[in-house]
Chains A and B, each alone.
Chain A
């Protein structure tokens, strides 16, 4: 029966290997992002940050993870146990799922097969990313509902309303980008930026306002300052984290860092050329083979590191928004701005195609 259906075993194996590498890589990078956050925060605040756990404090995330494991696992009595555990799981799931459509590099050549470094080259990559990010709201809502706590519910409602408001502006800014590039798949967008030899190849030069709006919305999606009202509420009232302890809390916190990492990668891919190394003609060096893919991955990681630093830099500079100021910005300022951006982009495309 198995022989009757032609199963492409090498494809399955290479996809599985890629999934393993990408997921482990995302988790590892998110772990060290927590460490980097503390170090960057310290450096921006005239102090040193953790440097005791291991050389230069590099084993600190391990220590944090172990601490969370050893804490007591509390599940409140009257909450729905299934939903309680589902909340953080959904948050983590949607955080990692978005990494499936991102092109991490051009293709590598192993065992006489060309393996593209992307788990799923979906034709509607950006739409998929959007769908999954919208699912992320469920993680917060389910978590706050299952806590059986009025204040958690209110905190979760605020968080959810913040996320959905900024998703709109994000989508609208992306529509303008899609009009310019002409296809929805992320791989396609990166390829157009890679093939284009001019210095203005990167989409950020074609859509600066779109990039700005997308950046602000990415801050809001990841619940990062200045939009970190859901997190600040943890100190003030409760927020959706209140009833969680040990690894479930760890999942929520970790999912935020994975979200940050994935948002950085998406911004780098859509606007800054993904795995494109500027002023480097890939086609001329095609004889380097697999090393070209490695250079691409290194370029992408450099951009991601810059964006992560930007996230942290902004966090430790700007005070947080009040809730009404946040909603004001999302609905009354960003959405009209994104619409104007779309209209102007459309007009300019028509003009230049004439």
Chain B
């Protein structure tokens, strides 16, 4: 019968010869191949000692951003909560009092801001939805824990360190998002 394409692979259906029916030569060949695998390089990464490098756009843990003077960017507008497909973000807004100008950028701020890491799917839609560049996903991923309660991250766990009081920690937390000039 004529083949339809030229990619036909012809199957060899000859009955097995005596040497093949012994199976032993084939077994030895297989065992030799397996033995050679002992000397191949292992692709395993010894995790806590070495970590796999992530790409620059890796979506990991959330960080609440501050501007260059250390004031929190987040105004509790709720766009991230609405954008979140898993409904992981909850917040409560509060009004900025007279002496707190250096803490918050605008008159409304988030008094309580919680992200439930067990619900979060790390899609990054909150980062895209935020109008104030207040939340972004960094390069670390959520560490393990024993209880469900401890996976609800509150504002102080999510907030980036103060750029003026803790500059090294701030720079480390910014990671590869350090921008030369901030625009808002």
Contacts and interface: CB of A to CB of B under 8 A. Distances in A.
A13 interface: no
A11 B130 CA distance: 86
Interface stretch (B37-45, B50-58, B76-84, B132-140): B37-45
B27 A318 contact: yes
26 contacts: A43-B37, A43-B38, A44-B34, A44-B35, A44-B37, A44-B38, A45-B37, A46-B37, A46-B40, A46-B42, A46-B43, A47-B42, A47-B43, A48-B42, A48-B44, A48-B46, A51-B46, A313-B31, A313-B34, A313-B35, A314-B31, A316-B34, A317-B27, A317-B30, A317-B33, A318-B30
The list of the 5 closest CB pairs from A to B, nearest first, reads A317-B34, A48-B44, A317-B30, A317-B31, A44-B34
Nearest to A319: B30
B136 to A, nearest CB: 34
Contacts of B37: 43-46
A interface bracket (residues with beta carbon within 8 Å of B): 10 to 19
Interface in A303-349: 313-314, 316-318
**Chain B contact residues: over half helix, strand or loop, or mixed?**
helix
Interface in A33-49: 43-48
Contacts of A51: 46
Interface in A48-95: 48, 51
A43 B44 CA distance: 11
Contact of B44 (A47, A316, A317): A47
A240 B42 CA distance: 36
Interface of B: 27, 30-31, 33-35, 37-38, 40, 42-44, 46
A46 B37 CA distance: 6
Contacts, number: 31
Contacts of B35: 44, 313
Nearest to B28: A317
Nearest to B34: A317
Nearest to B27: A318
A38 to B, nearest CB: 14
The residue in B35, B42, B43 that gathers the most chain A C-beta atoms within 10 A of its C-beta is B42
Nearest to A47: B44
Contacts of A44: 34-35, 37-38
Nearest to B40: A46
A43 B46 CA distance: 15
Nearest to B31: A317
Nearest to A216: B24
Nearest to B33: A317
- Determine which residue in A43, A47, A316 has the highest number of CB atoms from chain B within 10 A of its CB, and name it: A43
A45 B44 CA distance: 11
Contacts of A48: 42, 44, 46
Contacts of A45: 37
A317 B34 CA distance: 6
Given A44-B37, A47-B43, 9 more contacts: A43-B37, A44-B34, A44-B35, A46-B43, A47-B42, A47-B44, A48-B42, A313-B35, A314-B27
B123 to A, nearest CB: 31
Contacts of A313: 31, 34-35
A48 B42 CA distance: 7
Contacts of B38: 43-44
Contacts of B33: 317
A252 B19 CA distance: 38
B23 to A, nearest CB: 9
Contacts of A314: 27, 31
A318 B40 CA distance: 20
A46 B40 CA distance: 7
A317 B44 CA distance: 21
A318 B34 CA distance: 10
Interface string A263-302: 0000000000000000000000000000000000000000
